[in-house]
Structure 1
Amino acid sequence: MSIRSDFQFIHPLVNRRDENAAPGRARRVPPVSLGTQNPSVLSLLTVLERWWDPALARARIVGAWQTQSVTRTTYTVGRLDAATWGAFADLVERNNGIYGGCWCAPNHVEYQRGVSDPRTLKEALVRCGRAHAALVFDDESRAQGWCQYGPSDSLDLKHGREYRKNPPAPARWRVACIFVDKRHRGEGIARLALEGAIAQIILSGGGRIEAVAETTVGRQAQDRFLFCATVELFEDLGFTRDRQVGKHAWVVSRTVSPASTATPSTHSGHA
């Protein structure tokens, strides 16, 4: 299957043995430059440097992880839409429906607990263009993660009751869920998904983005409670903390400028 996307992120897993790493654990090493040989990387760097944050584009676009694996994986980022619904559905099914079969549907304002069928609702919203996400694909065009985002009036956030007691300044966009296949965690996919969502928001007009995420520094947080990744990841990508809404939960936000009227070239799902 060929996946079309508006931009491409390159993220290699590099074959280098780390004698000090625990078996099966990945250890991050400094970013690796691919120089000027890869036109896909250059295209994305051009987009981000012109419309986004030059430092972020250079620092985050390429990351390398040491592993004991003998494989090399290239990840690309595309949009969730009718054409990529099958890849999204396959990812959800491989992970038992996600969080008890939610299909990333309960955050949508159209969802009615006990009434809506999550899969049916999600597919309908995707096909009519009301559900948005950045999907991360591997080099076999299989989706391995996503970042759900959308207009703020279309998505609910976690800790909504506390949030509504003293709401922050209105946001145009919300990031409501970040999920990574359980077999591919620790490979930087959540970061790529969030970066992809931010880039898609930039191309869709920019504006203030908000999310509710949890802090993890100084504690062992279980994956099943990190519905929207971590505060630390958001801060790494330029978000700031606005207000605490739970024991470890914070509203975070960032404002991005819109892209110019120019449209970047598209790339296939394979590097």
Structure 2
Amino acid sequence: MSDFVVKPLAPETWDGFAGMVERHNGVFGGCWCTYFHTMNAEKERTYEANRSLKRRLVDEGRAHAALVFDGPEVVAWCEYGSPQELPNIYHRKQYEDELDVLPDYRVTCIFVDKRYRRRGLSAIVLDGALDLIAAAGGGVVEGYPHDAAGKKKSVLYNGTRTLFERADFEFVRSKGAGNCVMRRTVQ
């Protein structure tokens, strides 16, 4: 098995991140992991516009992710950031209606290269994001994984409740159909 290395998304690691996204057609039809960054209905949602937006946010220090490298190649990422940085979450109206605590950080997207799936990289990259959050001072962290009710389920973008439970997150409540709010405090 390879020795995986976790690094933060930054201008210096952009090429690795971009390489992985390009290998997967921009991810989800060209999202470039920008969906959670903006609620602007006027946003141009094209491959190139999203790539450009993500690059600008990285250069400005307004896009955060843990990247898993296998040698020079990025093979997984976990996007995280403040609610101000990542305001657009699924089932947002329900989430806001039931809000009890606004977290310091959100984990909004976990993605693993199709060649590396089923090797435990979701756990590695989630742990990497939590380490980066700790290094930045820590705080309350929320994730919004799929709640498969104990059944095996293939999930492409934000992990499962079981994954988050293994990372010491606690179930807070259901959110939408099949998702939930999980929370943990990182020192």
- The reply to whether TM is greater than 0.5 is yes
Aligned length: 183
Of 68, 77, 88, the match for 1:136: 68
2: CA distance between counterparts of 1:111 and 1:74?
40
Give CA-to-partner distance per residue, 1:167-188, whole Å, 9 cap, x none.
Answer: 1312111111000001110111
Structure 1 residues 74 and 113, CA gap change in structure 2 (3 angstroms) = farther
The separation in 2 between residues aligned to 1:201 and 1:93, in whole angstroms, is 27
**2:179 match:** 249
State whether residues 168 and 242 of structure 1, in contact with CA within 8 Å, keep that contact through their aligned partners in structure 2.
no
Aligned-residue offset at 1:216: 2.5
Cα gap change, 1:74 to 1:100, in 2 (>3 Å): same
C-alpha separation between the residues in 2 aligned to 1:218 and 1:151? 29
- Amino acid across the alignment from 1:212: Y
The residue aligned with 1:63 is: none
Q: Distance in 1 between matches of 2:152 and 2:120?
A: 19
Query: Is 1:105–1:111's contact at 8 Å kept on the other side of the alignment?
Result: no
Q: TM-score, normalised by structure 2?
A: 0.92
Query: In the alignment, which residue of structure 2 is the partner of 1:78?
Result: 7
3-state SS, counterpart of residue 140 of structure 2: strand
Equivalents in 1 of 2:55, 2:134: separation in Å? 25
- Taking the aligned partners of 1:188 and 1:201, their CA distance within structure 2 comes to 20
Asked whether the 8 Å contact 2:145–2:182 carries over to 1, the reply is yes
Aligned to 2:162: 232
- Amino-acid identity (%): 38
3-state DSSP of counterpart to 1:234 = helix
Q: Which one has the largest radius of gyration?
A: 1
Q: Secondary structure at the match of 1:214?
A: coil
- Give the corresponding residue for 1:6: none
Q: In the alignment, what sits opposite 2:35?
A: 106
Residue in structure 1 matched with residue 123 of structure 2 by the alignment: 191
Q: State the one-letter code of the partner of 1:223.
A: V
Find the partner of 1:202 among 134, 138, 162. 134
Q: Distance in 2 between matches of 1:112 and 1:123?
A: 20
Q: Which runs of 4+ in 1 moved over 3 A?
A: 110-114, 217-220
Instruction: Work out the CA distance in 2 between the residues paired with 1:159 and 1:221.
Output: 20
Q: How many angstroms apart in 1 are the aligned matches of 2:3 and 2:107?
A: 25
Alpha-carbon separation, structure 2, partners of 1:86 and 1:111? 27
**Structure 1 segments unaligned to the other structure (5+ residues):** 1-12, 14-72, 258-271
Higher relative contact order at CA 8 Å, sep ≥6: structure 1 or structure 2? 1
- Superposed CA RMSD in Å reads 1.5
Q: Which runs of 5+ in 2 are unaligned?
A: none
The SS at the match of 2:15 is: helix
SS in 1 for 2:65: strand
Determine if the alignment matches structure 1 residue 153 to structure 2 residue 84: yes
* Change over 3 Å in CA distance of 1:212–1:113 after alignment to 2: farther
TM score, norm. by length of structure 1: 0.64
One-letter amino acid matched to 2:138 = G
State the Cα distance separating 1:143 from its structure 2 match. Answer: 0.2
TM-superposed deviation, 1:256: 1.4
**Aligned-partner Cα distance in 2 for 1:127–1:83:** 10
Secondary structure of the corresponding residue to residue 36 of structure 2: coil
Asked if the contact 1:111–1:121 (Cα under 8 Å) also holds between the matched residues in 2, the reply is: no
